[in-house]
Amino acid sequence: MLSGPDDYIGKTVKMNGSFSVYEDEETGKVYFACYIADATACCSQGIEFTLSGEHVYPDDYPEVGSEIVVQGIFETYEENGYLYCQLKDAVME
């Protein structure tokens, strides 16, 4: 998905992994992601997600490292000259 994102744009994706949070210190923007380990558990890839509706961090989110299942619409966006992937309008189980 990350190496050929155009094939997935607009598709519903469901994934399970561990919950992660990153806050950009310069902008204050908070990013949420689901990280998935590969088959040998040596490497992981994360996909950012934005939940549908109104949510407040940390009140409406699990603890960092918790196992989650998240489903949303796959899209890409550009920020500061870089292309990023995310699941938009996501729901978390």
Average pLDDT over residues 52-65: 96
pLDDT at 42: 73
Q: CA 12: distance to chain centroid?
A: 13
What is the per-residue pLDDT across 5-48, written as a single tens digit (0 to 9) for each? 999 999 999 999 999 999 999 999 999 999 998 777 677 888 99
**What integer pLDDT is reported at residue 41 of this predicted model?**
66
Q: Which residues, including other chains, have CB under 8 Å from residue 20's CB and lie 6 or more apart?
A: 32, 33, 34, 35, 46, 64, 65
Q: Distance (Å, rounded) from C-alpha 22 to C-alpha 8? A: 24
pTM, two decimal places:
0.90
